């Protein structure tokens, strides 16, 4: 980083050695352990399909140097811009960069796009929000989300209490861990100190200025996820290329086979997005409907559904004219292969 801080990163790249576009996933969730299984499902896949795929631990998390302060801090975003610029300057990169992520990584993907680094051309944001105050885990409609706020604050406090990996950091890992423990603070009191929409929440809420985002955005959500409405707002308000997919899913990538299904060929769908906006290949994404959504059949109430029955529908524009019914589309398996396809 410009201040000399080192962030921990892992890079998967094609074996050809030729310069390729790069993809970034930028998270506080410890690439050496917690997200390692999930990372292994997608980063190598992207490398096998012609991209350098980069996973970075945010400052003060995992085995990165520095101290963590708060979610989506100005420092986090400054670092993110520097990471994108660093990636674009590497001899294995063509200079074109995309960013993807779910939840936190979906949030900061949009926030970094609003910073408009020149190299960042495309975003895939999953289960994220454009509004940190009204559509996140802290408040809903102005009311405190007590369970989520307390649980999430405690989760991050625990995450940030864990040590860096000695094999990465070296002999100074104990001292670095001690510094991290001494600086670690629960975030919940900060969130409770801001019970109205103020500058704290406006920061990082891209709904404050959709026009700041020029990158092409594919927004993905699930009807069983609290962030689903953000997909509709992003597709409606972003000035650049934007498409939305909303399935029956919960707070997960939609190719992981987790309830409720059905899963989709998510990686294949994102590859169309990357190929168009990072390689200039005509993949047909611009002709896709503005919004593709899963319309569930009526079913008896249940505490959970392993898989929902229903059909996919499409709206050519969003919001659609009030008198126009949504058009049926093919199953998303025909939207580029089943989840397991290569």
Q: What is the CATH number of the domain that holds 43?
A: 3.40.50.1820
Residue 63 and residue 164 in contact, taking contact as beta carbons nearer than 8 Å = yes
- Assigned domain for 133 exists: yes
d(CA 2, CA 120): 19
Q: Please determine, for residue 294, whether its predicted confidence score (pLDDT) is greater than 60.
A: yes
Q: Is the pTM of this model over 0.75?
A: yes
- Assigned domain for 172 exists: no
Q: Please determine, for residue 337, whether its predicted confidence score (pLDDT) is greater than 70.
A: no
d(CA 34, CA 22): 23
Q: Where are the beta strands (DSSP E) in the chain?
A: 9-12, 20-27, 52-57, 93-102, 120-126, 139-140, 143-144, 216-222, 242-247, 291-296, 310-315, 327-328
What's the pLDDT at 142?
87
Q: What is the mean pLDDT of residues 5-30?
A: 98
Give the ranges where 214-289 is alpha helix by DSSP (H). 228-237, 266-279
In the chain, pLDDT over 70 holds for what percent of residues? 94
The overall average pLDDT reported for the chain is: 94
Residue 246 and residue 222 in contact, taking contact as beta carbons nearer than 8 Å = yes
What's the pLDDT at 330?
55
Angle at 201 between CA 69 and CA 105, to 5 degrees: 60
Quote the domain boundaries for residue 69.
9-167+194-328
- Assigned domain for 260 exists: yes
Looking at the 3D structure of the chain, how many domains does it have?
A: 1
pLDDT tens digits, 117-137? 999 999 999 999 999 999 999
Q: Please determine, for residue 341, whether its predicted confidence score (pLDDT) is greater than 90.
A: no
- Assigned domain for 27 exists: yes
CB atoms within 10 A of CB 107: 25
Residue 73: strand, helix, or coil = coil
């Amino acid at each position: 980083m410009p201040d000399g801080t080192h962030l921990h990163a892992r890079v998967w790249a094609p074996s050809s050695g030729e310069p390729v576009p790069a993809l970034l996933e930028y998270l506080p969730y410890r690439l050496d352990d917690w997200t390692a299984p999930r990372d292994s499902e997608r980063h190598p896949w992207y490398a096998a399909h012609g991209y350098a795929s980069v996973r970075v631990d945010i400052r003060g998390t995992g085995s990165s140097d520095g101290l963590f302060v708060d979610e989506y801090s100005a420092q986090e975003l400054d670092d993110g811009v520097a990471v994108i610029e660093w990636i674009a300057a590497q001899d294995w990169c063509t200079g074109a960069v995309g960013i993807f992520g779910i939840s936190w990584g979906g949030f900061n993907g949009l926030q970094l796009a609003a910073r408009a680094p020149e190299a960042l051309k495309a975003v895939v944001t999953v289960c994220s929000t454009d509004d940190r105050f009204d559509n996140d885990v802290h408040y809903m409609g102005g009311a405190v989300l007590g369970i989520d706020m307390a649980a999430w604050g405690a989760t991050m406090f625990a995450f940030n209490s864990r040590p860096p990996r000695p094999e990465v950091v070296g002999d100074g890992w104990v001292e670095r861990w001690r510094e991290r423990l001494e600086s670690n603070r629960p975030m919940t009191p900060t969130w409770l100190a801001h019970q109205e929409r103020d500058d704290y929440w406006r920061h990082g809420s891209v709904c404050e200025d959709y026009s700041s985002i020029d990158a092409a955005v594919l927004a993905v959500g699930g009807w069983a996820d609290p962030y689903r409405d953000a997909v509709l707002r992003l597709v409606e308000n972003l000035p650049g290329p934007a498409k939305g997919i909303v399935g029956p899913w919960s707070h997960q990538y939609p190719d992981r086979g987790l309830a409720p299904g059905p899963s989709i060929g998510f990686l294949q769908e994102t590859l169309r997005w990357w190929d168009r906006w990072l390689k200039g290949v005509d993949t047909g994404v611009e002709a896709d409907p503005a919004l593709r959504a899963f319309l569930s059949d009526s079913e008896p109430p249940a505490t959970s559904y392993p898989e929902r029955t229903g059909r996919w529908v499409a709206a050519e524009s969003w919001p659609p004219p009030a008198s126009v019914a949504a058009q049926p589309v093919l199953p998303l398996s025909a939207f580029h292969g089943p989840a397991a396809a290569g």
